[in-house]
Structure 1
Amino acid sequence: MRFWLVLGRPFSLHRSAFGGGKMYTAVLLFVFVCWTATAHADHHQPCRSPNMTGYVSVMGQRAETRAAGPFTYDSTNKKLRLQSNSSHPWNVTLDLDLLVFFEEGILYKIDSKNQSCEKKSLQCTKNPFALPSDATFMSTMTSGSVSIEGEGLKFQIWTTPTPGFKGQNIMCLTMGCLPLSTFYVTESSVFIFSNMNVELEIKDPDLLVVPSFCQGLPAEETPEGTVYGFYDEFL
């Protein structure tokens, strides 16, 4: 199940930022629908996502699949393992194996084949699997039918601040706080994270453990004046 979401306070939308064509049109339409819905928005408190094992796809601004593969997310400790391989039938553009400790501000880029690893410091800890405490509720909507039982999915739409980035971060979650899609848009990039086949458990806790060949590495320094975050891995 995939949702194409754009929502937020008024911001400039340029056709070039979305690669033109169908994506740009779809974005404009959804913006109009969501702005209309926010007129009736209620006050809600941010919720915490459950533990999750599932499958995620990451689509870029030209409708290319940047990454796709299994993920494991520990919502209590905010740890994530995401694996994507270019040999996947979806023909993804990125080979990635990421282990991320959001609370510690550390990202490991793992190469199991060569038993090597990069360790990076995160200055921005936003991620598409957790609704932050400073998120702003926008509206509740239903995908599909509102009146036919079993033919609609009710969900909430939230915006979240993105300090250090000139962009918008929008999250779509079920009423039980399960993330469905996250839309991250800047002046030059667009990413849509869509979660599928999610189970509310951590099936393999070992995936969230730092591999032995990654332990003891120093974190790479981030160039002065730049802000590095999880989303940068998909540029």
Structure 2
Amino acid sequence: MHAAVILLVFMCLMPTTHADHHHHQQPCHLPNVTGLMTVMDLQDPVKALGGFTYDSTGNKLRFRSNENFPNASRHLDLLMFFEEGIFYEINSKNQSCEKKKLHYNHHALRIPEDAQFLATMNLGNPSIVGEGLEFSMWEGSVADNTGKYVISVTKGCLPVSILYYRKSTTVIFSFMNLESGIKNPEVLEVPSFCGGLSVEETSNGTVNSFLDLFM
């Protein structure tokens, strides 16, 4: 798995190799989507693995770790409302949750409007039906200017991966088994046992963002 991570990092940092460049590209808008998300870095092969549901219209996301994969270092159940700037950490077993402030609304399921187009690339052999995947790559700075990102999406704007790199670490989000649409919209609703909560105070020096929650 380490070799796969290193290969993906190399691909993202060397986007011009075998690339078809186009100028004046505009970022696409990801559709509603469900699927599987994995989070890795170069020190910790699997930080998190689980299912996600993303509502692109409401810009909200639910991620729940797969409890059948015990090797992940982080086990999370997150409900994130990016437009409102809040998120919930949910514990369904204990019927409890915490409501907190999101300091930045950047996340892996939306290409920022100021992202810069890098290239269009192909994995596999695009001349044979079913043997290739064409995707575009975009880059930019994370919201707090502490690092950079490179995001890859298919022609239909489904997410493939996003790589964040800072001075101290590199984190890769990968997406698999994707399906357009939302099968269970209730997973994007605040659980009844979380209703009426106040937003918790954020301690000094703590930054709550999509990326930092998986660090």
Q: TM-score, normalized by length of structure 2?
A: 0.90
Structure 1 stretches of at least 4 aligned residues deviating more than 6 Å after TM superposition: none
Corresponding residue of 2:175: 195
201 and 27 in structure 1: CA distance in 2 versus 1, 3 angstrom threshold: closer
Q: Is 1:229 aligned to residue 192 of structure 2?
A: no
Size of the aligned set, in residue pairs, is 215
2:144 aligned partner, one-letter code: G
Quick check: 195-204 or 30-39, which moved more? 30-39
Amino acid in the other structure paired with 1:120: K
Give the match for residue 31 of structure 2: 50
**Higher helix proportion (structure 1 or 2):** 1
SS of 1:233 mapped into structure 2: helix
1:230 counterpart SS class: coil
Cα pair 1:164 1:227 within 8 Å, conserved: no
Q: Evaluate the alpha carbon distance shift between residue 25 and residue 89 of structure 1 in structure 2; reply closer, same or farther with a 3 A threshold.
A: closer
Partner residue of 1:12? none
- Pick closer, same or farther for the CA change 1:31–1:176 going to 2, 3 Å: closer
1:159 aligns with 2:139: yes
CA distance in 2, matches of 1:32, 1:215: 44
- Is 2:98 aligned against 1:134? no
Amino acid across the alignment from 1:108: Y
C-alpha distance in structure 1 between counterparts of 2:6 and 2:29, whole Å: 32
Residue 112 of structure 1: how far off its partner (Å): 0.7
Distance (Å, rounded) in 1 between the aligned partners of 2:211 and 2:197: 22
Structure 2 residue aligned with 1:74: 55
User: CA RMSD, aligned part only?
Assistant: 2.4
Deviation string 1:112-169 (CA, Å, 9 cap, x unpaired) is 1111111111111111111122211111000111332321111000013312141111
* Further displaced range: 99-108 or 163-172: 163-172
**What TM-score do the two structures reach when normalised by structure 1?**
0.82
Report whether the alignment pairs 1:83 with 2:39.
no
Aligned-residue identity in percent: 46
Unaligned runs of 5+ in 1: 3-20
